[in-house]
A = this chain, B = another copy of it.
Amino acid sequence: MSKKSPSKFSIGIIQMAFTKKPKENVKNAVKWIEKAATQKAQVICLPELFTSQYFCQSENIDFYDLAEPLDGPSIKEVSKAAAKNKVVVIAPFFEKRAVGVYHNSAAIIDADGTIAGLYRKMHIPDDPAFYEKFYFTPGDLGFKSFDTEFGNIGTLICWDQWYPEGARLTALQGASVLFYPTAIGWHPKEKEEHGKAQFESWQTVQRGHAIANGVYVAAANRIGLEKQNPNSAGIEFWGRSFICDPQGIILAEASTDREEVLIAEVDLDRIEYIRRNWPFLRDRRIDAYGGITERLID
């Protein structure tokens, strides 16, 4: 339960573009947090790795310079904005935990600017131009929900969105909404043939998590064509951030190419209504799920 257990709270999903300059990105993020707060958002989520362009397009040790500790300057700036606007902010960042140990993390900043919790991305992808296994140690804090000023929320990060286990384990801890800060896009040469199917798979699997768990789901993606050098094709981040309700109904969806904020209401009475009518959590066969911890059952 949340600290104050209100029956409703408002969430804001920020869809942004990013420049090569971290300070500019932080400043832009703060501007969008203020805009979202003006629109009455109480829990605001930034996209994955919000201080930088998506540097994982190549394996380059110089990019470790972009990492900061949880008490570093970027999270401090966002904490100030959270306190000033009295909003909760999910700030996903490149975490420097120790020399040689870095994570793809999200700071959950409470409405007074204090740190309510930390999530470290559990599932780490590695695909051409998404070389995350090079940069990020897989999370060791497990799947978590966080009690904030306005409600109990969970966050996962990007690649986590393909894993029903992560959604389930977060929902079982009481989260009313699962946030998925994301950096997903098209390889430009694949877009025409596969782009529509890739987007639809991405959205569908997350709507599935909402339905299976009776929770809201909110995905915050970035936009823009980011190239690490002029000769590369780069990645075209597809935007289309969205929020869906516990029945998987889309409440708000963003464009593919504009910075914007999506606002929606998380209504605990709606969760109660859906879970009473379709009481999936009642009938889970926990006696028969042990094999989930196997790699394969072969």
Q: A212–B165 Cα gap in the complex (Å)? A: 10
* A residues at B contact (CB < 8 Å): 122-125, 127, 138, 142-143, 159, 162-169, 172-174, 197, 200-201, 204-205, 207-209, 211-212, 247-249, 277-281, 283-298
Q: A205–B169 Cα gap in the complex (Å)? A: 17
Q: A204–B298 Cα gap in the complex (Å)? A: 28
B212 to A162, Cβ gap below 8 A? yes
A169 to B292, Cβ gap below 8 A? yes
Q: A168–B295 Cα gap in the complex (Å)? A: 11
User: Which 6 pairs from chain A and chain B are nearest by CB?
Assistant: A208-B208, A164-B164, A172-B297, A205-B211, A173-B297, A292-B292
Task: List residues of chain B with CB within 8 A of the CB of A247.
Answer: 197, 201
- Given contacts A204-B208, A247-B197, whether A163 and B284 have CB atoms under 8 Å apart is yes
- Separation in Å of the A294 CB from the closest CB of chain B? 7
B292 to A248, Cβ gap below 8 A? no
B291 to A172, Cβ gap below 8 A? yes
Q: A47–B10 Cα gap in the complex (Å)? A: 42
Task: List residues of chain B with CB within 8 A of the CB of A212.
Answer: 162-164, 205, 208
